[in-house]
Amino acid sequence: MKFARIAGIDFKANKAFLLLALAYTLLGLGQEVILITTAVLAHEMAHTTVALALGVRISEVELLPFGGQAAVEDFTGLEPRKEIYIALAGPVLSFIMAGVFFYLIPFQGPLFSLFVNINLFLGLFNLLPVLPLDGGRILRALLSSPIGYRKATLTAAYMGKIAALLLGGLGVYLTSTTMSGANLIVIAVLLFWAAGREKKLLAYAFMRFLLNKKTQLGRHGFMESRQVAAVPETPVKKILDNSRPSTYLTVVIIGNDESVIGMRTEAELIECLLEKGPAACIKDC
């Protein structure tokens, strides 16, 4: 459910998030719901702010009980260094908020103590090296150079599913022994689902970027094209950095004898970058 639009970004709440909020409210924990929502929203706003500052376009953010998921509008803007900065922004803000409110506990009471714990959990949990958590995004950024962005995504998402199963097992054990693991079971289910969705989000970012151009081409019957010449050793990312939403990029590959030895389209370059990683050169495609 969409509840806000900030700086051109739609903020939505996942249905499970809303159901948990409703359940907590019916149990008389309305104040806790407000604190959790505030912490999660602040966490996601930190991600969004840093993304905008780095020139990465995000179309929407969906809130989940353990954080959120962002749909990246421009795949080419997401390089490993930027992804690490964006991923770290959320946990860093959560820890800062926990530290600030920790010093206010003596003056404000138990709700501030709860808010500290919520932010600590949010920061620490999101640093686990599994997708879709922030730690998983950092892991993907580190793996993308040696194995490629697509394989790095699948690896971190697979680890996310394993973590979800372990968390769910712990939740079942705690529920059967102390009746206190219901929250862990819910989070485990959502984590497993969200980890599986990472592959779809990767394809979504790639296809959305190209679909905008195909739409323009279909509407007008033609589209302005930018053609650049490059040698086989030119980094693919360097060329894609010059891509523009309103023009279609084609690359003419020039050999050592200055003859034309091939041509690649923008879609082929993006696919190559996904497969080979950020260090890919034209010759790798």
Quote the CA–CA distance of 255 and 264 in Å, as a whole number. 14
Sequence length of the chain is 285
Query: Is-contact 253 231, C-beta < 8 A?
Result: yes
- Find the DSSP H helices in 56-148: 80-102, 105-108, 110-126, 134-147
Cα 160 to Cα 139, 143, 163, 181, 197: the distances in Å are 11, 15, 5, 19, 11
Q: Is 103 helix (H, G, I), strand (E, B) or coil?
A: coil
44 is catalytic: yes
Quote the CA–CA distance of 278 and 147 in Å, as a whole number. 10
Placement of tokens 């993304």 in the chain: 51
User: What is the amino acid identity at position 169?
Assistant: G
Quote the CA–CA distance of 135 and 240 in Å, as a whole number. 27
Among the listed residues 32, 44, 83, 258, the single catalytic one is 44
> Per DSSP, what are the bridge partners of residue 248?
225
Catalytic residues: 44
